[in-house]
Amino acid sequence: MSKTREDLTITEALHDPLIAMVLRADGVKLDDFKRLLETAARKREQRTSPVGKFLNVIPNNNPAAMCSYC
């Protein structure tokens, strides 16, 4: 996913005043929220995209070899 102007980094999210207000209102500690974001980011980095999985099953990256309609 490409970064757009609307995306926040973890550091930016942790310093965002609106997010801080919501965390306080919900009784969530900043350190807990930081750990949640970092865990989610690590899991996201480890995921293989569906396109990547598809390309890995195509022998020699030859789409015609897998096409049942060709």
**What pLDDT does 6 receive?**
78
Mean pLDDT of 33-42: 92
**How far is residue 31 from each of residues 10, 13, 14, 36, 48, measured CA to CA in Å?**
12, 12, 9, 9, 28
Q: Which of 3-7, 12-16, 36-40 has the lowest mean pLDDT?
A: 3-7
Residue range 40-54: mean pLDDT, rounded: 74
